[in-house]
Structure 1
Amino acid sequence: MFAPVEMSELDIFVPESDIDAVAETLARLSIVHLQDPSALGKWGEGVGPEWLGRVTAYTTQERRVEELLGRLGMGPGSRPWKGRLNPADDLAAIEEELREIETEVHTLTQREAELKREIRRWELVARSLDSLAPLSVKISDLRQLELLHLIAGTIPTENLARLEASLFRIPYAIIPVHRYDGRALVFGFCAHEDAAILERALQSAFLEPLALPEESKGTPQEALAEVAQSLEQAQNELAAVQKVQQELAQRFGPPLQSMLTRIRMDRAIADARARFGHREGTYLISGWVPKDRATELAAAVEETSGGQATIEERPIGASGERTKVPTLLKNFKLLTPLEALVTTYGTPGYREIDPTPILGVTFVVMFGWMFGDLGHGLVLVALGALLALRVISRLAGQAQTGTILIACGLSSALFGLLYGSVFGMEDLIRPLWISPMHDMWTLLGASIAFGVVVLNVGFWCRVASAVRSGNILEGVFHTNGGAGLLLYSCLIALVAFVALGVAVPGWLVVVSGLLVLTLLFAQPLTNLLSGKRPVVHGSLSMEVIQAFFELFEALIGYASNTLSYVRLGAFAIAHAGLSLVVFIIADILGSGPAGGVLRVLIIVGGNIVVIGFEGLVVLIQTLRLEYYELFGKFFEGEGVPFKPLTLSGL
């Protein structure tokens, strides 16, 4: 907690004969973050593109297997693969097996698609014939009308109205007889001499022609019976095809799911092989592993290679500035969901302070401060519990969001007790602290005081991060470091003395002046104490001018950051005010005969709006205070997340 997991940097030298087995062992352990090949020096020169080509090929095979599973009506789930992995040779073996399955499945699915199109066509023909059923005219005669030109087909429904503008110059009739899936089956009639105009207009309306069946010579009733028979035959054949498809799903489904796992595992190993160094029959696996698991990794590699592999541990940072040590966060289980809020801003550097524990406290407290209401908080707790317990299967992936909602809801409920507010009603319980609507100045003052405490935490975190990274002097002389902390504290004290009408102690003014001078000459002092020469780069006057503007910007930041926390109290007051507006509207509109029911509906609906809308606004404001006011003091977030080599199919 507060610091990422300590890492060890390892170099593993493996004979070529054991590299596949060792790579698979490391992938199954899922504890090694591989070094980039560009940092391997001469060992990286032996890294060829052939393994990257295999990664691409395995990715293509994965997509093809997923498509096959979809065509067989199965989900993209996977089954375990028990065999030995051989990424170099598995590609060809999988390809041969996959092509055989594709040939059989594609032939069947293609026939299924053809039958579905045929069934749709017969259904549309049946619809057209059904509209002509009252006629005793033969179909052959309809195709040879002497005075009228007939066109039948389907067009998008929204294009029906546009036809009038295209056909205003000719006499015509457009008769829609059936609508389905956003399209309309229409019959179009016009004189023979106007046929070209009608056909162009219908084509511009995206007509899909539907010809009357050529094989039908009798009346529409007789043709309808023939079409019904053809439709039944097509439906029976489709049922037979779908039955065979189910048999294929039972036959090929499990092997395809196992194949999918095998492909993903092979791809993971191939991707790793593309990052291994190689020279003269020996492979170099370089990367980082959590220090407390380095012994476990060494034992596994020793066993897999039969003692042929050599493992060397190097000091952190020995690979030079081209690489960064990856960061693996480790916090209490309750804080794990909040890590996502930190990594959204940036990944902590290996030597940085992990702000997750601090955010875990300040985020929850500030949300409750601005959204304080016992009833609203308990609603958030209930919603969070639904997500955290995965009650709604479609939202199972939002379990961590549910945990955050529960924490924020409990904080809101607690502040609701402090404010004496229950669903916006402030006369049900006595406030344990203050009422936002009646003690505004106290609430705003407390908000600023809380902000001062949070910003002081940020200053201390800057100092701690500087100590961890070995830049102690920077931590001392930075505007957000030790000297900045002391100056900020002195300025707060000066403001407090003036606000209270108390005489400002002379020593406080002197200390503040000395701190200002210290920050003005921070860089020269840092160079002097660290032994860097020259002490001043360039002219002293330019150094002082630059330092002055940096200090001026820092002072403005101190003031703006502090005043930003006024929003804690301001949004608490706004929350109470919005709830009050809901009850005022309910009282105005709920005074009629059915006023009781309407009043309840307005109150319930209003509270839902307040919870949804203002809850989102408060969430955004809380994140803003975290990211800009707190994180800006110490957190750079330029680290590299720890991504271990793993078998993705497992």
Structure 2
Amino acid sequence: MAVVKMLALTLAGPKEETEVVARQMVLRGGFQPIPLDLLVSDRKMRARVGTPTDNPYDTLLTKVASVWHAAGEALPEPAPILSDRSFTLEKARCMVETAVRKLDLWERRKRELAESVEELEAAKVLLDALHAVSHSLEDLATMRHMAVFFGRISEENGKRLLETSEDVPFLPVPLRVQGGDMWVLCFAIPGYRDGAAKLLESVNFKVFPLTQMIEKLRSAEENRVNRLIVNRRKAVEGLEKAARNFLFDHRQELVALFNQIYTMQRVYDLCKGRGEIGDMYLLSGWIPEDIREEVLSVIAAEAPKTAVFVEETTHALASGFRVPTLLRNLPFVRSFQEIVAIYSLPSYGEMDPSFLVALSFCAMFGFMFGDVGHGLLLALGGHFLMKRRVVTKAIGAVIKTAGVSSVLFGFLYGSVFGMEGILPPLWFSPMEHMDRLLKLSLGAGVGFVTLGMLLNMVARYREGDFGRLLFDGQGLAGLVFYWSAALMAFSAFSGTPLPFPKWIGGTLLLILLLVIFLRDVLARTLLRRRSTAVEESPVVHVFEVLHGLLSFLSNTASFVRLAAFALNHVGLSLAVFMLADMVHNVPGGPILKVLLLVLGNLLIVGLEGLIVFIQTLRLEYYEFFSKFYRGGGSPFRPVGWAGRDLSRLKAR
């Protein structure tokens, strides 16, 4: 149960020193910046401090990445540049412009040639069609009684165009289908020119104007068009090779430039929201307490002119700062942090229930799904899903742990694939001892609810809220009320005599109920202090108390599901064996029996395993967390080296 203590670290020093320190912070990944607006609340002081929010290295990183994009290669894996005080933003811009100037020229020329090749291919298609009917481009362009459109469209949209033209004064004539595209020559009456243009635009028809084609091909023959297409395609290939050759010849310098810019981009991400006063930087952020000495030693070595201020979180919490939460647990418990986070991350200063969740989750899941064979299948399934990345690593580890717990309880129950008698039960058989199963479930409910109330009392003690600690329905008064009522209920159902007369028990319950209703009054009168929480109106408080009393019953009774699903698991297994036995004597029965056994057990592991997983989560969230846990924490998100998503650069 470890919520790591955080510290507020503030640096004030020269720009060049702050950048060096920020670089070290990025590599260590233990610094989350605080926006300057939160750090400097005084308006006059805030007006004197500049706050750049953009990252000047974002554009440079995209530009230098275009070198690899133009060469058709993947970006290199970035490596950190530890220290280079001579590298400045102006120097980076100059180096990037020098590197990409030729590439920009080659890329622009390549696009022009590609467009020219496309126009020549269009002209070839149209010339071939016109030669077949003994007409020329001039004849087509000078038609007075027809509006003529020529262009290319996808084959699918071409079919839609042909269907649409049946209802309008418009005639599309397909010329050629090639590579999924359709070349079409369209005719429309002059009065429908604008309507035809809109219709073609709606189906993504790319128009090649006839007048431009005539200018380019006025004296061209078909053989000359073919030669132009071949030559310009070769020119495009040559330009692509030029980019690859450029990267090959200057790879070492370009990789060093990429690494330097990537490093500075991460540094400026960390410095986002910093304050600037002249040449001085003001930077503040959260760090875990356990790296305090390491960070201070780095600052002392790298930034002797920088002033450092380290502040405890007590003042930050009092000022309304939202301190981030960092959890640090043992590897076994760490997987269950995600189970807690699905509900809500602990707020800073709140106890982390991950350790208790890890233990109770495994115990309850195994209790409901105890079977050696099914547990092994579940553990293997969790491992498979994790390796295939169908689920996260944490959830996969939780599923595997739940499977191991099922195996252990399977030995305790003596159950293997639903068959009892193969292994002697180390504890008891659920079907033969249903009464014990039910008593254990209710006992677990009482214990779990009690633990939740004790944790709530610990939390109220930490907050100094002794009114709720002593007199609240979830505090000491509620705990005594709950146990008194539980003992009286146990006596009534089992016939076991109470250690005290019933009227004393009833009187005690009434007194405790009155104490719970008068919680705030007693806190003000006896303790001379108000609750640290916001006090509810009397009506709301009455309903809260009634809801709490009813929850004692509902929360405890909810644990009956432990026994119910343990019996349900045995019942489903028996049903599978009964179905398999029923088909044994039909034609092909032995094969069908094996098939039913395999599918039935897979269904139990998959479907019932999912249901038991959900029911275990329900018991954790509603019956346990509701007693003491608030959550609402924000995760600690330090700026780290691996935080940049390179896929966005590759796509550009």
What TM-score does the superposition give when structure 1 sets the normalisation length?
0.76
Provide the aligned C-alpha RMSD in A: 5.1
> Please, which of 602, 622, 633 is the counterpart of residue 628 of structure 1?
622
Is the aligned partner of 1:80 residue 2:74? no
**Alpha-carbon distance in structure 2 between the residues aligned to 1:98 and 1:178:** 44
What amino acid does structure 2 have at the position aligned with 1:453? G
2:258 is matched with 257
> Please, which of 245, 248, 266 is the counterpart of residue 247 of structure 1?
245
Contact 1:352–1:468 (CA<8 Å) still a contact in 2?
no
1:367 is matched with 365
Contact 1:264–1:647 (CA<8 Å) still a contact in 2?
no
Contact 1:466–1:475 (CA<8 Å) still a contact in 2?
yes
Partner SS, residue 479 of structure 1: coil
What amino acid does structure 2 have at the position aligned with 1:107? L
Measure how far apart 1:564 and its partner are.
2.8
Measure how far apart 1:521 and its partner are.
1.8
1:408 is matched with 402
> Please, which of 486, 490, 494 is the counterpart of residue 492 of structure 1?
486
**Alpha-carbon distance in structure 1 between the residues aligned to 2:428 and 2:573:** 17
**Alpha-carbon distance in structure 1 between the residues aligned to 2:161 and 2:561:** 55
**Alpha-carbon distance in structure 1 between the residues aligned to 2:124 and 2:425:** 74
- Structure 1 window deviating more from structure 2 (119-128 vs 464-473): it is 119-128
> Please, which of 447, 452, 469 is the counterpart of residue 446 of structure 2?
452
1:99-148 CA distances to partner (integer Å, 9 max, x unpaired)? 34343333334444555666677778889999x89x96657499869999
> Please, which of 503, 509, 521 is the counterpart of residue 512 of structure 1?
509
Partner SS, residue 83 of structure 2: coil
The alignment-based identity, stated in percent, is 27
User: Please, which runs of 5 or more residues in structure 1 have no aligned partner?
Assistant: none
1:225-255 CA distances to partner (integer Å, 9 max, x unpaired)? 7776555444433332332222344436514
Is the aligned partner of 1:336 residue 2:334? yes
1:386-444 CA distances to partner (integer Å, 9 max, x unpaired)? 566xx55xx49933333223212212333444555555666865665566677666545
Measure how far apart 1:356 and its partner are.
0.9
**Alpha-carbon distance in structure 1 between the residues aligned to 2:117 and 2:426:** 72
Is the aligned partner of 1:548 residue 2:545? no
**Alpha-carbon distance in structure 2 between the residues aligned to 1:272 and 1:45:** 18
- Structure 1 window deviating more from structure 2 (52-61 vs 422-431): it is 422-431
Contact 1:372–1:421 (CA<8 Å) still a contact in 2?
yes
- Identify if the C-alpha distance between structure 1 residues 265 and 210 changes in structure 2 by more than 3 Å, giving closer, same or farther: closer
Measure how far apart 1:554 and its partner are.
0.4
- Structure 1 window deviating more from structure 2 (336-345 vs 581-590): it is 581-590
Partner SS, residue 400 of structure 1: helix
**Alpha-carbon distance in structure 1 between the residues aligned to 2:233 and 2:438:** 74
What TM-score does the superposition give when structure 2 sets the normalisation length?
0.76
- Identify if the C-alpha distance between structure 1 residues 71 and 586 changes in structure 2 by more than 3 Å, giving closer, same or farther: farther
Measure how far apart 1:357 and its partner are.
0.4
Partner SS, residue 182 of structure 2: strand
Contact 1:4–1:327 (CA<8 Å) still a contact in 2?
yes
**Alpha-carbon distance in structure 1 between the residues aligned to 2:177 and 2:584:** 48
1:525 is matched with 522
Partner SS, residue 271 of structure 1: coil
> Please, which of 370, 376, 379 is the counterpart of residue 378 of structure 1?
376
What amino acid does structure 1 have at the position aligned with 2:485? L
- Structure 1 window deviating more from structure 2 (516-525 vs 575-584): it is 575-584
1:150-202 CA distances to partner (integer Å, 9 max, x unpaired)? 9674245266267436516889797696475xx55265799999997998866
Contact 2:33–2:285 (CA<8 Å) still a contact in 1?
yes
Contact 1:112–1:238 (CA<8 Å) still a contact in 2?
yes
**Alpha-carbon distance in structure 1 between the residues aligned to 2:546 and 2:34:** 43
1:345 is matched with 343
1:564-591 CA distances to partner (integer Å, 9 max, x unpaired)? 3333444445555566666677778898
- Identify if the C-alpha distance between structure 1 residues 520 and 421 changes in structure 2 by more than 3 Å, giving closer, same or farther: same
Contact 1:15–1:309 (CA<8 Å) still a contact in 2?
no
Partner SS, residue 392 of structure 2: helix
2:354 is matched with 356
- Identify if the C-alpha distance between structure 1 residues 523 and 66 changes in structure 2 by more than 3 Å, giving closer, same or farther: farther
**Alpha-carbon distance in structure 1 between the residues aligned to 2:149 and 2:318:** 81
What amino acid does structure 2 have at the position aligned with 1:273? R
**Alpha-carbon distance in structure 2 between the residues aligned to 1:15 and 1:136:** 78
**Alpha-carbon distance in structure 1 between the residues aligned to 2:548 and 2:185:** 77
Alignment map for 1:103-502 (pairs within 5 Å)? 103-113=101-111, 140=136, 153-155=152-154, 157=156, 160=159, 163-164=162-163, 166-167=165-166, 178=177, 184-185=181-182, 205-208=203-206, 232-250=230-248, 251=250, 253-271=254-272, 273-274=274-275, 289-306=287-304, 309=307, 316-317=314-315, 320-386=318-384, 395=389, 398-418=392-412, 422=416, 443-502=437-496
Measure how far apart 1:647 and its partner are.
5.9
Measure how far apart 1:358 and its partner are.
0.7
Contact 1:25–1:301 (CA<8 Å) still a contact in 2?
no
- Structure 1 window deviating more from structure 2 (609-618 vs 446-455): it is 609-618
**Alpha-carbon distance in structure 1 between the residues aligned to 2:114 and 2:568:** 59
**Alpha-carbon distance in structure 1 between the residues aligned to 2:401 and 2:154:** 55
2:647 is matched with none
Contact 1:420–1:431 (CA<8 Å) still a contact in 2?
yes
Is the aligned partner of 1:560 residue 2:554? yes
- Identify if the C-alpha distance between structure 1 residues 190 and 439 changes in structure 2 by more than 3 Å, giving closer, same or farther: farther
- Identify if the C-alpha distance between structure 1 residues 137 and 627 changes in structure 2 by more than 3 Å, giving closer, same or farther: same
What amino acid does structure 2 have at the position aligned with 1:78? P
2:3 is matched with 4
- Identify if the C-alpha distance between structure 1 residues 288 and 78 changes in structure 2 by more than 3 Å, giving closer, same or farther: closer
- Identify if the C-alpha distance between structure 1 residues 593 and 200 changes in structure 2 by more than 3 Å, giving closer, same or farther: farther
Measure how far apart 1:463 and its partner are.
1.7
Measure how far apart 1:552 and its partner are.
0.7
Contact 2:67–2:243 (CA<8 Å) still a contact in 1?
no
- Identify if the C-alpha distance between structure 1 residues 502 and 85 changes in structure 2 by more than 3 Å, giving closer, same or farther: farther
Contact 1:10–1:287 (CA<8 Å) still a contact in 2?
yes
- Structure 1 window deviating more from structure 2 (592-601 vs 55-64): it is 592-601
What amino acid does structure 2 have at the position aligned with 1:74? A
**Alpha-carbon distance in structure 2 between the residues aligned to 1:445 and 1:468:** 35
Measure how far apart 1:644 and its partner are.
4.7
What amino acid does structure 2 have at the position aligned with 1:261? Y
Contact 1:78–1:260 (CA<8 Å) still a contact in 2?
no
**Alpha-carbon distance in structure 2 between the residues aligned to 1:308 and 1:211:** 66
What amino acid does structure 2 have at the position aligned with 1:154? I
